[in-house]
Amino acid sequence: MKKLLASALFILSMQVSAQEKVIRLYDGPAPGSEHWKQKEKENNKNLWNTRIVYNVADPTLTVFRPTDPNGTAVVICPGGGFQALSIDSEGFDVAKWLNQKGVTCFVLKYRLVESKTDDPTRELASRRENPKQREAETLPVIRLAMADGLKALEYVRKHASEYSIRPDRIGIIGFSAGGTVTASVAYNYTPETRPDFAAPVYLQYDWVIRNGVPADAPPMFLLAASDDQLGLGPHSVRLYNDWIAAKKPAELHLYSKGGHGFGMRVQHLPSDRWIERFADWLDVQGLLKK
């Protein structure tokens, strides 16, 4: 019995250490939303049938450290229409998979549109019926979310040695709204916040904050499905074309089936293995070697 208890405690300690700690991005109220009053919450029963986080006003990074770090790190931005965050399939589950490849991961909770109820998924569905109103409410928040993405990269680079990370091997990946954040970051960085690689996954390109591909733009990995219910497949193609036209390295994957928001969900489709293709790409970039 003692051996069984010791084994259980060891496994639990390993699980806790994987999700090491949560870091606040700002010492005080986040700039630009100092007067927000909403409190962060979670919901497990919703239209998406997954755990979500909403009403984020105090952006954070949740750290996932691999057993044998290879020097590469990635900031992970879950999606959810800037109304919520699909924190597991587009966040924590991605981090745990990449940890097995030696990648140190930081899951970002970025600022979101305030939810007036306890079901942000229904609020988002309702907002889609009035596109102009939704855009007016969302666009200002996208700029704040982008600032959180940039701040996250700045934090990781500043603390690289603490996490056994190389400061020239820090990237960002995001899904849906998180992909929009990722692409916006790839257009709007400083030397301190420049991602060394970027991976927008089924992003909404119309909402990306951009003025032109930067002269030192990072290599980019893009992914989507042609049967995306929101019609966002072509958005990845447009971003890919812009990157290639600027003679910057990019790789694009479009699955015939997969829908929108698949993340790490198992659908018994080739798109289930998208993260293996992402790892292949990282390997080609030399980012999985020590």
What pLDDT does 3 receive? Answer: 46
- CA 195 to each of CA 169, 201, 217, 221, 242: distance values in angstroms, whole numbers, following the listed order: 8, 16, 9, 13, 18
Is 9 part of any domain? no
Is 31 part of any domain? no
What pLDDT does 127 receive? Answer: 84
Is 15 part of any domain? no
What pLDDT does 19 receive? Answer: 52
Question: pTM for the full model?
Answer: 0.93
Is 245 part of any domain? yes
What pLDDT does 8 receive? Answer: 44
What pLDDT does 20 receive? Answer: 72
Is 10 part of any domain? no
Give the domain extent around 125: 38-284
The DSSP symbol for 256 reads S
Domain count for the chain, please give it: 1
Is 190 part of any domain? yes
Sign of CA dihedral 223, 262, 226, 136: negative
Is 221 part of any domain? yes
Strand partners for 86:
52
CATH number of the domain to which 158 belongs? 3.40.50.1820
Of residues 95, 93, 72, 229, the one with CA closest to residue 160: 72
Is 217 part of any domain? yes
Of residues 115, 171, 176, the one with CA closest to residue 142: 176
What pLDDT does 145 receive? Answer: 98
Could you give the 3-state DSSP secondary structure of residue 152? helix
- CA 9 to each of CA 6, 16, 18, 22, 63: distance values in angstroms, whole numbers, following the listed order: 5, 10, 14, 22, 21
Q: What is the pLDDT along the chain (290 residues), one digit of tens a residue?
A: 444 444 444 444 444 445 579 999 999 999 999 999 999 999 999 999 999 999 999 999 999 999 999 999 999 999 999 999 999 999 999 999 999 999 999 999 999 999 999 999 999 998 888 888 899 999 999 999 999 999 999 999 999 999 999 999 999 999 999 999 999 999 999 999 999 999 999 999 999 999 999 999 999 999 999 999 999 999 999 999 999 999 999 999 999 999 999 999 999 999 999 999 999 999 999 999 99
